[in-house]
Structure 1
Amino acid sequence: TCLVLVTSWGGTEYAWGSRTILGLTAGAVVTTLLFVAVEHRAAEPIIPLRLFRDSIFNVTGLIGAVIGIALFGAASYLPTYLQMVDGASATESGLLMLPMMLGIVGGSIVSGQLITRTGRYRIYPIVGGAVSVVGMWLLSGLEAGTSRLEYSLWQAVLGTGIGLVMSVLVLAVQNSVRPADLGTATSANNYFRQIGGSVGAAVFGTLFAGRLSDSLGVRLPTGVELPPPESITPQLVHAMEPALRDAYIQAYVDAMPRIFLYLVPVLVLGLILAFFLKEKPLVSHSPEAATEPAPIPAARANPPRPSVGYLSGVPVQGTVRHPDGTPVEGAALTLIDVQGQQVGRGSGGGDGRYALSVPGAGNYVLIAAAGGHQPQAVSVTVGDRPVELDVVLGGAGRLAGSVLAADGEPVPDAAVTLTDVRGEVVASARTGREGGYVLTELVAGEYTLAAGAPAFRPAALPVSVQAARETRQDIELAGGAVLRGIVRAPDGRPVEDARVTLLDAAGNAVRTLTTGPDGAFRFVDLSSGEYTVIAAGYPPVATVLQVAGGGRTERDLQLGHED
């Protein structure tokens, strides 16, 4: 609120150096620092600060703010310009904004479809940023004689660029964060875009009001009192005398397009930021969405004519496909009989089609393999008619995620191990400085993921690896807390052989130890919570003895801890 008021009032209602503006600026800084401090200590923060360690989250937030500035700045004041200069009614000015909205929708749909097919998204914010710069630059050339067709096309260009960027930003954020943070990260990204839009509209209005006042002061006849810019409406202007009306219209032509030109460097900044956006492979955040095993295809009689030729004999033909139905290019196919002898061999074409021939009727096994995919063997029964048989190849899966402590902090150099249903180790890795790990070339199926690190309790959980895509699974390690100290006497010297007992919140003894010559004690691998530390010396020792009169009696006393 303070930031929006500064950009709205600065230079118009109050001078930039006034106490009000300076106070609002200080308020914006102080409240931001207080928000960060509260979020750092809150058990359930609104925006977890760990999100800001993700460069993709930061870059998309900045790009979203830039897009918000451009979109809200243009959409807020362009209808007023159309009413004032072009003579459009309020309804017509809204309809004349449809090209921009259609461009946004069209750009979002096109980018979404292309991302679905290719799995790549980084290029679209770059292309969209460049298109947005061109569209805003074209709008800065608006004049009184510009036709509706021209500025409608310019709006469509700007809208297409914004549409190519906006939907991709949300996708990039959701693809980067862990599943528990999906809602928070998405809302935060939208919030940054709205903040940018609010600030952009406020700054746009301030600059426009200043330029309009200057232009009116030059174009209006001498002695005409200037009304406040915010009180000028299209209806009021068009009801004026022709000389005054033309002066107001020309003042709008002088002021508004120049403000669009000011937004061009802002969009250039967004384009530069888009180059810093990292691209991660698209992942699935649904642990339940395990890939089902590929069904064994069924043979069909009377198939259509194959697209590739085959030798004499009974033909076996079909298509090698991915699980999503797309063809696998260049797959190697081998046909063997029940004795294991090879009876046919070939490869698939660019469309995934293949054609083999068998010497006669009988039972055979078709083996299909391709680079980066898991091989597949399919039984096929051949009679006296051609057989159409499609084969589904699952690509090698990939498992990635982070090893985190209970407070969400990453655990570096943790050992991560993946075992199959038989308990055999399939893959292993160690986490990096940010706690991340990646396991590649995995066969789709059910596994057990285990992780361990010094001072942490090992943890394990089931995970389903999907074929031909990346599955993301974070794992949390408990424990890791260390409690240590020194038992000292009143004069500060360490106390040797002191008994130190650690009690939990319920009063149960967790551990007991005895200090050494340095008086130090240390408890490791503790869960977070409340504890009580008790330090004690030797318990008292009593003995009964008889002292004779005039004699000398000696008796040694032995102190020690009871085991």
Structure 2
Amino acid sequence: MEVQSAQQTVDAPVEKHRHKHTWTVDELGPRYKWIALSNTTLGMLMATINSSIVLIALPDIFRGIHINPLESSNTSYLLWMMMGFLVVTAVLVVGFGRLGDMFGRVRMYNLGFAVFAVSSVLLAVTWMDGATAAIWLIGWRVVQGIGGAFLMANSSAILTDAFPAKQRGLALGINGVAAIAGSFLGLVIGGLLGPVQWHLVFLVSVPFGVFGTIWAFLKLRDTSERRPAKMDWWGNLTFAVGLIAVLVGITYGIQPYGSHTMGWTSPMVLSCLIGGVLVLIIFAVIETRVANPLFNLSLFKIRAFSFGNAANLAASLGRGGLQFMLIIWLQGIWLPQHGYSFEQTPLWAGIYMLPMTVGFLVAAPVSGVITDRIGGRLLATVGMVATAVSFLLLLILPVDFNYWAFAAILLLNGLGMGLFSSPNRADVMNSLPPTSRGAGAGMTATFQNSAMVLSIGFFFSLMIAGLSDSLPGTLNQGLTAHGVPADAAAGIAALPPVGVLFAAFLGYNPIQQLLGPVLNQLPADQASFLTGRSFFPNLISAPFSDGLTAAFWFAIIVCLVGAVASWFVGKPKPLAATVPQESVGSELAAEGGELVNILPDDTPTAVLQRPRRAVGRPGEISGTLRTNSGAPIAGAVITVTGADGMQVGRARAGQTGAYALDGVRPGTYTLIVTAPGFQPAAASVTVNGLGAVHDFVLLGGGVVAGTVHRSGGTPVEGTAVLATDGTGQVVGQATTAHDGKFLLTGLPAGEVTITANVDGHRPHAVTVLAGAAEPADVELLVEAVGVLHGTVTGPDGLGLANATVTISDSQGRTVATTLTDDEGHYELHDLEPGEYTVVTSLYEPAVRQVDLNTGETTTVDVDLASGARADAAS
């Protein structure tokens, strides 16, 4: 009972904590990972659809709230409706990833779904007009972005926890398809719903948001181990201020300033850019000095994480502004040239861009499956090169193109991005320590979202720079040639080119907006021609081509940079591991700051055992993990790294202590074993065509010393002393010396139960805290257990049944009472050493004195007939 009680006091809090906060994937069943995938895919799809759905619907939204976004006083509304969502998610996503690591990824993800659903409802019920409505919409779009940041920051980490390494590429690939395809689908959905009723653009997200919130709350469970840490408030503040300042500076840099076509020389823009960069430098300094940084800069020591994020940043820079350029190209030039009115162009622009979405939807999941088998470096590199080729083809495509050639190029672009996206995401997430997956995913999303905003600014700036050289002269010449007064034509030609771009982007007739009252002074046929479908597209074709050239060359360069970075992620490695659960509770000792010695396979050491057999199954590394007493160690994590230091796979030991990793290619690998409470161990193994087997014996750092003695102080020599952990496993054993002393070493750090069991004595158990810094001292007192038995007989020598036998100690106190059986026998147990008096009460009492020595069994027969002393036998 003492041992069980001690164990219960150790185990109960652990069970309560685990069931209250975290689950294992095994407990949730094999279907849980697919539930996690479907729910997070819905969340990512919603978040990314809403990042782009307003782009095509902006004309209908502004008409609905009765605002002309091209007026100089309203341009800020246009910019923040376009970019507010992206700016907010870029700033907050990394902090929300850290919150997921600290307080539970599923909890933060559920909160994001709820925020997203509520903000969608409030956007859909907008009832105001004018500037009030614009501010209301922008404000709730920002809140919607906050919900999106929660979803984006934690979805990848939830999937990485739920899926084993060998299926992670597929899962992240499908999730990545939703993330990027959503931005394309948003264009089509916005184009379809906007003309019907602009409120539907926001209302469409409400049922999915409500359903997703309830579904996530009911079905998703935290399978990650919470990491107690403090929030890096100074880091969050400086990062948010610095990044917002930079992004705001870029946003306003594309607007005209004074006589300049763009605002890059504006004091406000320069202050935002320079000040933002300085604050971000301060942020970087802070991150190197705080205990729990927002940006874990040590993650950049991981090669796959560093180069993978560099490639993702380059890809996002190339992809982010492409949508805007294609929308302007289609809406401002190509669609009007081919018979579409300016009012129809937003919808058809989204439809004609579908080949890009199709290419991505096809390539991303396929590349995810292939990544699980051969690694992601080659696929990601090929994807970036293919994307660069697609930009090169767009560069040489004439402005008035054949649509099928255009569609084929967009398909190639989508295929390239799909080939890149899934492998890149899998490589980055697989490289992260488990307890840093939330923060790492948030950092990746921050780079991606920030790059999207930067890309928009770069593309617009390059387009405006290209237009500003030739557009004024072309406009002036074209307008005067068709009857517009010279002073009016010169005034229009002097207007900033950004107005022309925004008009084309919104599907407005730019000439009608620019000429205004001048049209009333022209003949009807001239006015009709100038505002028709052909004049502006034909006029702007040449200047627009100049702007596209600069933008597409920028995209080609960054895609090639992304290809180089993808190649340096590392050699393709099979992510093979028979891992029943990839919980974040187990992390490499080296990543946690512990030093481990890498020992060759034949190094003599108490920690390593020689392999049980020379070979294993082909392509498999296997073995067992045990304590120095031979007990299996369940739940230990075995990490396999290649000769280049890159992680190849991970496995978790089962209840029997056995582990196995399959699908490993021939070569030399390092095995690193970590288990809570035990010292880490490492060994080198060579896998040939037959595989390899290696067993480990793990030693803990705990030491317990003590003495076993009897109640009288006599030491007990040669008795066994056992140490058991909270699960009842024997983790150590020793034998007492002549002075009763013992020493237990190599115990797992933490609470252990020490038990001594001596024949004829009660076992004694004590729970102590085993630590390496100072050995725990234990004194075990074993108490002897005496037994007294005999027979009560009558005058005829026959045994007397039901005679009462009472024994009392030397002080006359009754110790025990019993009745004889049918043959007169009695037996009394659990008596302490000492002198007792045996008394019967069936006949006239007969009294006998008896000495009971330690550990002895003594027989006392009482003859009621003669009253004589009976012989005693021990």
TM-score of the aligned structures, taking structure 2 as reference length: 0.36
Q: Which residue of 2 aligns with 1:403?
A: 589
Q: Which residue among 56, 64, 68 is the counterpart of 2:312?
A: 64
Cα deviation for residue 416 of structure 1 reads: 10
2:593 counterpart letter in structure 1:
E
Q: Which residue of 2 aligns with 1:164?
A: 419
Q: Which residue among 622, 644, 654 is the counterpart of 1:444?
A: 622
1:73 counterpart letter in structure 2:
G
Cα deviation for residue 216 of structure 1 reads: 1.5
| Preserved contact between residue 85 and residue 249 of structure 1 (Cα < 8 Å) | yes
2:245 counterpart letter in structure 1:
C
The answer to whether 1:468 aligns with 2:658 is: no
SS at match of 2:509: helix
Which residues of 2 match residues 40-59 of structure 1 at below 5 A? 40-59=288-307
- Work out the number of aligned pairs and report it: 349
SS at match of 1:402: coil
1:447 counterpart letter in structure 2:
L
Q: Which structure shows the bigger proportion of residues in helix conformation?
A: 2
The answer to whether 1:203 aligns with 2:458 is: yes
Q: Which residue of 1 aligns with 2:279?
A: 31
| Preserved contact between residue 7 and residue 206 of structure 1 (Cα < 8 Å) | no
Q: Which residue of 2 aligns with 1:91?
A: 347
Provide the C-alpha distance between the structure 1 equivalents of 2:456 and 2:367, rounded to a whole number of angstroms: 27
SS at match of 2:396: coil
SS at match of 1:277: coil
The answer to whether 1:151 aligns with 2:406 is: yes
Provide the C-alpha distance between the structure 2 equivalents of 1:31 and 1:166, rounded to a whole number of angstroms: 31
The answer to whether 1:252 aligns with 2:495 is: no
Provide the C-alpha distance between the structure 2 equivalents of 1:410 and 1:262, rounded to a whole number of angstroms: 45
The answer to whether 1:180 aligns with 2:451 is: no
Cα deviation for residue 30 of structure 1 reads: 2.5
Provide the C-alpha distance between the structure 1 equivalents of 2:627 and 2:332, rounded to a whole number of angstroms: 66
Which residues of 2 match residues 57-456 of structure 1 at below 5 A? 57-87=305-335, 88=340, 89-116=345-372, 118-221=373-476, 223=486, 224=489, 225-226=492-493, 227-228=495-496, 229-230=498-499, 231-233=502-504, 234-237=507-510, 240-241=530-531, 243=535, 246-279=538-571, 281-283=573-575, 288-289=580-581, 402-404=588-590, 408-409=592-593, 411=595, 413=597, 425-426=609-610, 444=622, 446-448=624-626
Cα gap change, 1:214 to 1:424, in 2 (>3 Å): closer
Provide the C-alpha distance between the structure 1 equivalents of 2:419 and 2:384, rounded to a whole number of angstroms: 8
Provide the C-alpha distance between the structure 1 equivalents of 2:436 and 2:538, rounded to a whole number of angstroms: 56
Cα gap change, 1:280 to 1:187, in 2 (>3 Å): farther
Provide the C-alpha distance between the structure 1 equivalents of 2:329 and 2:560, rounded to a whole number of angstroms: 24
Q: Which structure shows the bigger proportion of residues in strand conformation?
A: 1
Provide the C-alpha distance between the structure 2 equivalents of 1:160 and 1:188, rounded to a whole number of angstroms: 25
Provide the C-alpha distance between the structure 2 equivalents of 1:254 and 1:95, rounded to a whole number of angstroms: 26
Cα gap change, 1:281 to 1:248, in 2 (>3 Å): closer
SS at match of 1:466: strand
| Preserved contact between residue 104 and residue 161 of structure 1 (Cα < 8 Å) | yes
SS at match of 2:399: coil
Provide the C-alpha distance between the structure 1 equivalents of 2:319 and 2:677, rounded to a whole number of angstroms: 44
Provide the C-alpha distance between the structure 2 equivalents of 1:199 and 1:254, rounded to a whole number of angstroms: 21
Q: Which residue of 2 aligns with 1:4?
A: 247
- CA deviation string 1:195-246 (max 9, x = no partner): 1111111111111122223321121125412344235334314753465553
Cα deviation for residue 135 of structure 1 reads: 0.4
RMSD: 3.9
2:660 counterpart letter in structure 1:
Q
1:267 counterpart letter in structure 2:
C
The answer to whether 1:20 aligns with 2:268 is: yes
Greater mean alpha carbon deviation, residues 175-184 or residues 86-95: 175-184
| Preserved contact between residue 176 and residue 280 of structure 1 (Cα < 8 Å) | no
| Preserved contact between residue 252 and residue 269 of structure 2 (Cα < 8 Å) | yes
SS at match of 2:588: strand
Cα deviation for residue 402 of structure 1 reads: 3.4
Provide the C-alpha distance between the structure 1 equivalents of 2:323 and 2:610, rounded to a whole number of angstroms: 56
Cα deviation for residue 68 of structure 1 reads: 0.5
1:235 counterpart letter in structure 2:
Y
SS at match of 1:235: coil
SS at match of 1:99: helix
SS at match of 1:281: coil
1:468 counterpart letter in structure 2:
D
2:356 counterpart letter in structure 1:
M
SS at match of 1:279: coil
Cα deviation for residue 105 of structure 1 reads: 1.7
Cα deviation for residue 42 of structure 1 reads: 4.1
TM-score of the aligned structures, taking structure 1 as reference length: 0.54
| Preserved contact between residue 86 and residue 144 of structure 1 (Cα < 8 Å) | yes
Cα deviation for residue 128 of structure 1 reads: 0.8
Provide the C-alpha distance between the structure 1 equivalents of 2:333 and 2:627, rounded to a whole number of angstroms: 66
Cα gap change, 1:186 to 1:448, in 2 (>3 Å): farther
Provide the C-alpha distance between the structure 2 equivalents of 1:258 and 1:19, rounded to a whole number of angstroms: 26
- CA deviation string 1:477-503 (max 9, x = no partner): 899xxxxxxxxxxxxxxxxxxxxxxxx
Cα deviation for residue 90 of structure 1 reads: 0.8
